[in-house]
Amino acid sequence: MNCARSVYLCSTLSTMKSLFLIRHAKSSWDNPGIRDFDRGLNERGLREAPMMAGLLLQRGFTPDLIVSSPAKRAFSTARFFAEAFGHPEQNIERIPDIYEASVMDILHIIHKLPDAAQRVYIFGHNPTFTDVANRFADDFIDNVPTCGIVHLETEAERWADMYEDNTRLRACLFPKEVL
Tell me, what CATH number does 98's domain have? 3.40.50.1240
- SS3 for 105-154, per residue? HHHHHHHCCCCCCCEEEEEECCCHHHHHHHHHCCCCCCCCCCCCEEEEEE
Average confidence score pLDDT of the chain: 93
What value does the mean pLDDT take over residues 97-115?
98
Look at residue 8 and tell me if it is in a domain.
no
Residue 1 falls inside a structural domain:
no
170 in a domain, yes or no?
A: yes
3-state SS, residue 171: strand
Asked if the structure places residue 124 within a domain, the reply is: yes
Full-model pTM:
0.92
pLDDT tens by residue, 1-46: 445 434 444 444 457 999 999 999 999 999 889 999 999 999 999 9
Residue 50: inside a domain: yes
Secondary structure of the chain: what % helix, strand, coil (to 5)?
Answer: 40, 20, 40
In a domain, 166, yes or no: yes
Question: Total domain count for the chain?
Answer: 1
pLDDT for 14: 55
Q: What is the pLDDT of residue 6?
A: 42
In whole angstroms, give the CA distance from residue 85 to residue 61: 9
* Domain presence at residue 61: yes
pLDDT digits (tens, 9 = 90+) for 134-149: 999 999 999 999 999 9
Residue 23, domain extent: 16-178
Does any domain span residue 5? no
* Residue 179 pLDDT: 86
